[in-house]
Chains A and B, each alone.
Chain A
Amino acid sequence: MIKTDVLVIGGGPAGLAAAIEAHKNGAKVILIERESRLGGILKQCIHDGFGLVRFEEKLSGPEYAERFIDEFRELHIEALLLTFVTKVQKTESGFVATVVNRDGVMDIEAKSLILATGCRERTAKQVFIHGTRPAGVFTAGTAQHFTNLLGELPTKKCVILGSGDIGLIMARRLTLEGAKVLGVYEVKPTPSGLTRNIHQCLNDFDIPLHLSHTVTRVFGVDRLEGVEVAKVDENMRAIPGTEEYIECDALILSVGLIPENEIAENLGVEIDPKTKGPKCDASLMTSVPGIFSCGNALHVNDLVDYVSESGETAGRSAALFSGKERKMASVIPGDKILYIVPQKLDTLSVGSETVVYFRSKEVYDDSIFRITVDGETVFEKKYAFLRPPEMEKVIVDFSKCGLSENSKISAEIEVTVK
């Protein structure tokens, strides 16, 4: 049996950063990647804007990923490519992962495990669309794969459902390659993607954005021939009489991302219903000692810079994992907070610089983000605006508030009226 200290599952930006950081902290590391190349989804994210926080440069996805891949190779960290994890079991001394690749089936024993499995796109099956089942209904990520990796334009005239960032990026990309994007339809009254993407991907190319609208039906036998769109009410239900038929050959879905945690769930890792990723402490250890989570498997990020950052935290923690006792206290998010990471704090190892990520539930102007411990304010920051698509990061000092298992740690957003 192959033995290692740290086993990283996933070779995207989170897994790469985790593997590099675990190696730098003295651990023997093996990384498992199911595709033939490292880099994860960044391989097909050819647009720029990556790395502004980390490198203060505007890089494309491949450029950002390859900086980490270059370092990963220089450090001679072992990667098993075209390798798929079929099963992970907990043992007395750690974990045994069963993997399969062209050499056959083998077991790898590891002291700690980093789950960097990224996220998956919500598909047509997960949003309720009536009508036939023709070809031409696919996710924005699939459109991106066809266009940017295979060099095939998957549509000539399309409608995009959902205003997530990948959908917006693909609206621009398909337009540049000569396709006609007839419009982006978003069921919510506010866009899901970053404001700058609304401007540089839609407004720059006169692509209309229809808020509070959805696709109610698809038409076509072999290939999509058209879609029906309608206005929705405040409960997101289509308003009768507002239906409109649009002729198109593709319906592209950008309707959300869900962290991929099948392995975590099978190992009994506790999942946060809000992030849909594992509940973690500040070291990014999950509820199962020795299992760590990072990147989009932990929670869906809008900037890759934070994906790498969480990978590094998980990598460092996994390398230094000793199995010592934890005494956990939960961080309770208020009703204006969509989610907060970490969800728990280990009161036996409280750092003075705990990284906290959060998103607001709705758009709030002039607000205060506050963390209290037993009613005492330990952190406060003012925001001119908070928007759900834009994740916020703060650094909190919990070392002076005498945390114990019984501490009541609350995070809240207070909207201040001018």
Chain B
Amino acid sequence: MSTREMVCITCPRGCTMQVEQFDGAIKVTGNFCKRGEQFAVNELTMPMRTICSTVKTSFPESPVLPCRVSKDIPKDKIFDVMNEINRVVVTERISRGDVIIKNVLGLDADVISTSDLLRKGE
């Protein structure tokens, strides 16, 4: 059996949790909501993270457009996904939520725009 302290990063509350592992089972205490338990289990099996970044555009008034992954990706793929994001140049006027890279690196997550900065009429 092993016990470790873990801080849940799911929301700004940032619960400090006690995570016990025994016989393959994981017991979580100190979490305010059930997302804490899910976070702890993921951290011990497959840690997941989100990425928020920017992509280059060809529009001089807005040289970069904010973007993020549509759902969490494995933590060890962060820099691989960043490489993909940094290879893109947006040349069309797209809206918030539009897909910039579909199914990035086959991780089942899209890279999407998070701003209407380039929308027509902005």
The interface of chain A, by Cβ under 8 A from chain B, is: 37, 46-49, 52, 58-63, 66, 147-151, 173, 176-177, 194-196, 198-200, 204, 302-303, 390
B116 at the A interface (CB under 8 A): yes
B51 at the A interface (CB under 8 A): yes
The answer, among A59, A148, A151, A303, for a CB contact under 8 Å with B12, is A303
Q: Do A194 and B54 touch across chains, with their CB atoms under 8 A apart?
A: no
- Chain A residues whose C-beta falls within 8 Å of the C-beta of B82 in the assembled complex: 176-177
B75 at the A interface (CB under 8 A): yes
The count of A-to-B residue pairs whose CB atoms sit within 8 angstroms is 80
Q: Do A148 and B54 touch across chains, with their CB atoms under 8 A apart?
A: yes
Q: Do B51 and A199 touch across chains, with their CB atoms under 8 A apart?
A: no
Give the 4 A-B residue pairs with the shortest CB-CB distance, closest first: A151-B64, A196-B14, A62-B115, A46-B66
B interface bracket (residues with beta carbon within 8 Å of A): 20 to 34
- Chain A residues whose C-beta falls within 8 Å of the C-beta of B14 in the assembled complex: 194-196, 199, 390
User: A46 vs B117: C-alpha distance in the bound complex, in angstroms?
Assistant: 12
Q: Which of B8, B12, B75, B115 has the most CB of A within 10 A?
A: B12
Q: Do A195 and B54 touch across chains, with their CB atoms under 8 A apart?
A: no
The answer, among B7, B9, B54, for a CB contact under 8 Å with A151, is B54
Closest-CB distance, B72 to chain A (whole angstroms): 10
B46-86 interface (Cβ within 8 A of A) = 49-54, 56, 63-64, 66, 68, 75, 78-79, 82, 86
Q: Do A199 and B9 touch across chains, with their CB atoms under 8 A apart?
A: yes
- Chain B residues whose C-beta falls within 8 Å of the C-beta of A173 in the assembled complex: 53
Known: A63-B114, A148-B66. A47 touches B52 (CB 8 A): yes
Q: Do A63 and B75 touch across chains, with their CB atoms under 8 A apart?
A: no
Q: Do A62 and B12 touch across chains, with their CB atoms under 8 A apart?
A: no
The interface of chain B, by Cβ under 8 A from chain A, is: 7-9, 11-14, 16, 49-54, 56, 63-64, 66, 68, 75, 78-79, 82, 86, 96, 114-117, 122
The answer, among B12, B49, B50, B56, for a CB contact under 8 Å with A196, is B12
Q: Do B116 and A46 touch across chains, with their CB atoms under 8 A apart?
A: no
Closest-CB distance, A389 to chain B (whole angstroms): 10
A-B contact pairs, 8 of them (CB 8 A): A46-B52, A52-B12, A58-B50, A149-B64, A150-B63, A151-B63, A390-B12, A390-B14
Closest-CB distance, A133 to chain B (whole angstroms): 29
User: A204 vs B76: C-alpha distance in the bound complex, in angstroms?
Assistant: 10
- Chain A residues whose C-beta falls within 8 Å of the C-beta of B56 in the assembled complex: 151
Closest-CB distance, B33 to chain A (whole angstroms): 11
- Chain A residues whose C-beta falls within 8 Å of the C-beta of B122 in the assembled complex: 37
Closest-CB distance, A150 to chain B (whole angstroms): 6
- Chain A residues whose C-beta falls within 8 Å of the C-beta of B12 in the assembled complex: 49, 52, 194, 196, 302-303, 390
User: A62 vs B54: C-alpha distance in the bound complex, in angstroms?
Assistant: 12
Known: A48-B50, A48-B52, A149-B64. A195 touches B16 (CB 8 A): yes
The answer, among A63, A147, A195, A198, for a CB contact under 8 Å with B115, is A63
Q: Which applies to chain A's interface (DSSP): helix, strand, loop or mixed?
A: mixed
User: A188 vs B75: C-alpha distance in the bound complex, in angstroms?
Assistant: 31
User: A26 vs B53: C-alpha distance in the bound complex, in angstroms?
Assistant: 40
- In chain A, what residue has the closest Cβ to B11? A52
Q: Do A148 and B64 touch across chains, with their CB atoms under 8 A apart?
A: yes
- In chain A, what residue has the closest Cβ to B55? A151
- Chain B residues whose C-beta falls within 8 Å of the C-beta of A194 in the assembled complex: 12, 14
Closest-CB distance, B58 to chain A (whole angstroms): 12
Closest-CB distance, B116 to chain A (whole angstroms): 6
User: A196 vs B11: C-alpha distance in the bound complex, in angstroms?
Assistant: 8
- Chain B residues whose C-beta falls within 8 Å of the C-beta of A147 in the assembled complex: 54
- Chain B residues whose C-beta falls within 8 Å of the C-beta of A60 in the assembled complex: 52, 66, 68, 114
- Chain A residues whose C-beta falls within 8 Å of the C-beta of B49 in the assembled complex: 200, 204
- In chain B, what residue has the closest Cβ to A152? B63
Q: Do B7 and A46 touch across chains, with their CB atoms under 8 A apart?
A: no
- Chain B residues whose C-beta falls within 8 Å of the C-beta of A63 in the assembled complex: 96, 114-115
- Chain A residues whose C-beta falls within 8 Å of the C-beta of B13 in the assembled complex: 196, 390
Closest-CB distance, A12 to chain B (whole angstroms): 15
User: A200 vs B115: C-alpha distance in the bound complex, in angstroms?
Assistant: 23
- Chain B residues whose C-beta falls within 8 Å of the C-beta of A302 in the assembled complex: 12
- Chain B residues whose C-beta falls within 8 Å of the C-beta of A49 in the assembled complex: 11-12
Closest-CB distance, A9 to chain B (whole angstroms): 23
- Chain A residues whose C-beta falls within 8 Å of the C-beta of B78 in the assembled complex: 176
Q: Which of A58, A59, A63, A177 has the most CB of B within 10 A?
A: A63
Closest-CB distance, A418 to chain B (whole angstroms): 16
